[in-house]
Structure 1
């Protein structure tokens, strides 16, 4: 029995993620951020002043990955770390003016990427795709918790 990679959700999801990331990277680089920083920026735009632990719980990446991402963001002037007022072990992550000023353009870049990548789909197909993607992600997380 032959197996085509086009019959593999794993393969197709990886290809889709790669394509979206590549398309966003082109737009993001011109603005001064990377696709890997975007989830952190989204969280901080919604609630600035989170701890690294809070960010880790929200962005679903490994601790080392987040630490490296935050170091690059700090180097690039997007965030600054401040001592936590009550917990000497923790740091507060705050957006700089540069990080805050990036919000409108970065979200527009993300929307432009989505629109370009999904241009071949009708509006209802986009909604269905997003719903199915969300349900698949939820199912994958449930499987991860069992393993």
Structure 2
């Protein structure tokens, strides 16, 4: 269905954008107490199993530009959330891993995400939630994203909380 006029309150893309903004604000508020932010989630997801990754691997996983990842990692390193180690297989790069104390925050971050999700989906049936997830995945696919961010995370950690 194509829509011609512009009415933000009836535009699916505007509504999704507004939802994303409100969800990010909720999660940022909850994460602030943990000393982390929503934009750090791709790094946290990739490294939560104790592994180390190169900046390039983290960039590809997150689907963001390399300069953005470099800045994100610089801030995370400054804040003591990640540490860099020499890469034994490539002297031009380093390996990034989570600082030891961050592992204690992963459970709290997951709980915060679950709280936000539960608040957003209050009153939704399981069927409605499944339908919404399917529709959002179709939008993601239509926009050319391979959904790697979510499917890779699910493979490594099993079922995710809603």
Contact persistence 2:34–2:105 (CA under 8 A): yes
Q: Distance in 2 between matches of 1:80 and 1:47?
A: 12
**When the two structures are superposed, what TM-score results if normalisation uses the length of structure 2?**
0.81
Which residue number corresponds to residue 138 of structure 2?
135
Root-mean-square deviation (CA), in Å? Answer: 1.5
User: What pairs with 1:1-147 in structure 2 (closer than 5 Å)?
Assistant: 2-46=5-49, 48-141=51-144
Residues matched between the structures, number: 142
Unaligned runs of 5+ in 2: 146-162
- Give the deviation of 1:10 after TM superposition: 2.2
Map Cα deviations across residues 85-137 of structure 1 (whole Å, 9 max, x no partner): 12111110011112222111111111111111111322211111111111210
- Give the deviation of 1:140 after TM superposition: 0.5
Unaligned runs of 5+ in 1: 143-147
1:102–1:87 distance in 2 versus 1, CA, 3 Å? same
Map Cα deviations across residues 48-92 of structure 1 (whole Å, 9 max, x no partner): 201111111111112121111111111111110111112111110
More helix by share: 1
**When the two structures are superposed, what TM-score results if normalisation uses the length of structure 1?**
0.89
